[in-house]
């Protein structure tokens, strides 16, 4: 009897539920139905936060920054001097805007995904909604960011070298009979690089939230105080790791994008 009940509980438990993309509302544009998902709402919220908070931090004219301004300026300085300048050198200030934008946008999405928005709304209103969830655990969103990085990499390369110069230096200097093979490999590589950016961010965020959901699911499965205490302690520990991963994955995506921009803008590379 108990094994049958446990099987039913495990069958109903879905660790993918917290990361699923679910429509919150729909509207029509002509004959087309447009669905706005929970992840689109989180992306919109991230954009609103960034366009509100960052200008407020930059507006202050203090010579000695404090609080939020100090935090934002320290992160921007670190990204420019420690991440971008060793790769882009004298071209750093031309492309640092993309570096900052990519890092803060991905970091904000990662951090918002850790907030139990749906549960907070239910606690305050008693109504079940699907608002919330980690947007970077959606392959379409990480893929869209990778597509943006793909176009910026090539646009910056063409801007720096000119179209013909970019084509000439697209493959490394090799004997003429190897050039077709090298161009073929470089074209494949140019598509693989953004693909790996999308998959790396997506996979890491999915894995972390699935582990959290699994730990919480142990409470439902075992239904005793010992399992509840162990699950809560596990969730707290994993949450600290997830916080580290949120920063780390934003940094890795930004670092690799900057590296690819450096490769595309420097003919010698």
pLDDT value of residue 152: 94
**In degrees rounded to 5, what are phi and psi of residue 172?**
-65, 155
- Split into its structural domains, the chain has a count of 1
**3-class SS of residue 20:** coil
**3-class SS of residue 14:** coil
Residue that the structure tokens 């890795």 belong to: 252
Structure tokens at 221: 């499965």
pLDDT value of residue 9: 46
Q: What domain range is 33 assigned to?
A: 2-265
pLDDT value of residue 58: 72
Each of the 269 residues of the chain gets a pLDDT tens digit; together they read 445 544 544 445 566 677 788 888 888 888 888 888 888 999 999 999 999 988 877 776 666 767 778 888 889 999 999 999 999 988 999 999 999 999 999 999 999 988 877 777 767 777 777 787 889 999 999 999 999 999 999 999 999 888 888 888 888 777 888 888 888 988 999 999 999 999 999 999 988 888 887 777 777 777 777 777 888 888 888 888 899 999 999 999 999 999 999 988 886 65
Number of alpha carbons in the 13 Å side-chain half-sphere of residue 197: 30
Structure tokens at 80: 């420019």
User: Among 128, 147, 114, which residue's Cα sits nearest to residue 235?
Assistant: 114
């Amino acid at each position: 009897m108990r094994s049958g009940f446990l099987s039913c509980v495990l069958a109903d438990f879905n660790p993918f539920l917290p990361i699923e993309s679910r429509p919150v509302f729909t509207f029509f544009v002509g004959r087309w139905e447009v669905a706005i998902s929970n992840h689109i709402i989180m992306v919109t919220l991230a954009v609103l936060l960034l366009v509100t908070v960052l200008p407020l931090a930059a507006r202050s004219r203090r010579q000695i920054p404090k609080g939020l301004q100090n935090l934002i300026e320290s992160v921007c300085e670190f990204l420019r001097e420690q991440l971008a300048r060793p790769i882009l050198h004298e071209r750093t200030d031309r492309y640092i805007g993309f570096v900052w934008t990519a890092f803060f946008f991905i970091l904000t999405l990662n951090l918002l995904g850790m907030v139990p928005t749906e549960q907070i709304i239910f606690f305050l209103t008693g109504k079940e909604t699907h608002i919330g969830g980690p947007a970077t655990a959606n392959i379409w969103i990480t893929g869209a960011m990778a597509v943006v990085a793909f176009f910026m990499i090539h646009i910056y390369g063409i801007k720096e070298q000119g179209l013909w110069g970019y084509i000439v230096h697209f493959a490394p200097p090799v004997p003429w009979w190897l050039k077709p093979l090298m161009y073929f490999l470089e074209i494949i590589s140019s598509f693989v690089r953004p693909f790996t950016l999308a998959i790396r961010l997506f996979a890491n965020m999915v894995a972390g939230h699935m582990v959290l959901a699994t730990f919480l699911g142990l409470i439902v499965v075992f239904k005793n105080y010992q399992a509840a205490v162990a699950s809560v302690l596990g969730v707290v520990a994993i949450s600290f790791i997830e916080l580290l991963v949120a920063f780390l994955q934003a940094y890795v995506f930004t670092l690799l994008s900057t590296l690819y921009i450096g490769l595309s803008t420097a003919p010698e590379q």
